[in-house]
Chains A and B, each alone.
Chain A
Amino acid sequence: MIKPSLKSYIKPQKLSEYPIGTVYEAGHLVTKNAGWRTVRPVMDMDKCSGCFQCYMYCPDGVIFKEGKSVSVDYDFCKGCGICAKICKLNVISMEAEKR
């Protein structure tokens, strides 16, 4: 999974600058999308065996390989908790978001 990079959004000034219909270059992300997360996965990497099950199961593709380890992209993680559920070594705990 390629970690998405945010692009700056330049609001079109003319109607002709809008795409014709609802189609645009794939992966053109201009906003973060994690605002509805109420709990966040927190990893205790000392316990991690590097099985990458969390990486495989994440439905939003926001868990990334970093060498033999993993990390979470909190700009896009919705906090569903599937990674915590799938981890057999209880590396991942879901902690309440503090606002």
Chain B
Amino acid sequence: MSKAFLSGNEAFAEGVRLAKPHVISAYPITPQTIVVERLSEMVEDKSLKSEFIHVESEHSALSCAMGASAIGARAFTATSSQGLLYMAECLQYASGGRFPIVMMNANRSTALPWNIYGDQRDSISQLDCGWIQVYVEDAQESLDMAIQSFFIAEHEKVSTPVMVNLDGFVLTHTYEAVEIPSQEQADKFLPPFKTGNRMDFDNPKNMAFSAGPDSNMEFKLQQHKAMLDSKSVIELADKSFAEIFGRSYGGLIDTYKTDDAEYILITLGSITGLVREVVDELRAEGRKVGLVKLRYLRPFPDKELAEAVKNAKAVGTLEKDISFGYEGTVYTNVNSALIKNGIAIPSYNFIAGLGGRDISKKDIIHMFEHIEKGGEYVNFIGLGVNADE
């Protein structure tokens, strides 16, 4: 084990090195570029024995990763924003084909207007593509989830690709002290990838076949069930990781001071750190506030979330996303979880940080006040204009 001063991208690359993928295929895009730059350097200096394949597009990057996975190789790719959207066709091929690829996505705004800064609209627009989606908060969690994601994706009960989301720039490009585990620890945690779902001369298979109306739905149900089953594997991964590395992230969700909280803000990604600080400040003033960090959006932690907020008087959902014509998609998912679990409390939506706009401490204090006092359900935070003009 060693300690280093790393950005989110660099920390993720260190995690990938420890997971030792056989194949890395990627196409550069801001703000993902550095993760694949570091990996290509590792391959060049032979500290990572991996086939690094330069491809001509993101569509090819994921197609290539699928080809690698189809011969039983551990495969990694990374992208962001428009690159993820260009991959969209292949995302569903990878999940339907049950190829346990791991991908890092640097969360970035989508065009138009063109913008390279962070928000979560790219990955959230792909919630239905059949990939497990995890959102990380800091550089250490980035490194750790790079390793854990292969464990989850490749587990025989799951066999589903995993997308790890890092907020563009605010996480991918900011530096923190990060613990780098030893290769022995990583090898102890992550078993070699084994699958019967592969091309093999001794046991030839037809792969990526079609299934008509008489059997297609069964394949989709099977995919859905595997995603639901992944919940127990995610919890197992967190527990087993904690035993070996000494760090636990709580599995599907993380909670902060929710036990006696009356007003709870639900977050995902890097903004969680600032919200935690605001919770401490408001607690010091005697206000009973708390925080739920959604670590996974798919599978959605509905029961876990409901359990965490069941005694609250009201909740709010903070997300860097808007589903035009309705509300934030995370908010829609949160409300569905509350209703299904019989929790009838006011629930508010805070849409912030689109296109990289800063979310300040003052904004978060304002959100907690809104949850407590009530008001509009869907709110755009930090606008530079009066929305009612």
A residues at B contact (CB < 8 Å)? 11-12, 15, 18, 20-28
Contacts and interface: CB of A to CB of B under 8 A. Distances in A.
Contacts of A27: 204, 206
B208 A20 contact: no
B204 A22 contact: no
Interface in B71-114: 96-99
Contacts of B386: none
A24 B98 CA distance: 13
Nearest to B160: A21
Contacts of A26: 204-206
Chain A facing B: main interface SS: loop
Contact of B218 (A15, A22, A23, A25): A15
A28 to B, nearest CB: 7
A17 B97 CA distance: 17
B225 interface: yes
A32 B215 CA distance: 18
Given A24-B209, A28-B206, A18 B197 contact: no
Contacts of A18: 215, 218-219, 222
B221 interface: yes
A21 B206 contact: no
Contacts of B159: 20-21
6 contacts: A12-B215, A20-B159, A21-B99, A22-B96, A23-B205, A24-B209
A22 B218 CA distance: 12
Contacts of B206: 23-28
Contacts, number: 54
B207 interface: yes
Contact of A22 (B198, B211, B225): B211
Given A21-B159, A22-B211, A22-B219, A15 B225 contact: yes
Contacts of B215: 11-12, 18
Interface in B174-231: 196-198, 204-209, 211, 214-215, 218-219, 221-222, 225-226
A31 B215 CA distance: 14
Contacts of B226: 20
Given A15-B221, A18-B215, A23 B197 contact: yes
A30 to B, nearest CB: 11
A22 B198 CA distance: 10
Contacts of A24: 205-206, 209
Contact of B97 (A11, A22, A25): A22
Contacts of B221: 15
Nearest to B225: A15
Nearest to B218: A18
A10 B218 CA distance: 15
A20 B97 CA distance: 9
A86 B219 CA distance: 42
A62 B357 CA distance: 62
A27 B98 CA distance: 21
A20 B198 CA distance: 11
Nearest to A26: B204
A12 to B, nearest CB: 7
A24 B215 CA distance: 14
Given A23-B198, A23-B209, A25-B204, 9 more contacts: A12-B218, A18-B215, A18-B222, A20-B159, A20-B196, A21-B159, A22-B207, A26-B204, A26-B205
A26 B198 CA distance: 11
A76 to B, nearest CB: 15
A70 to B, nearest CB: 26
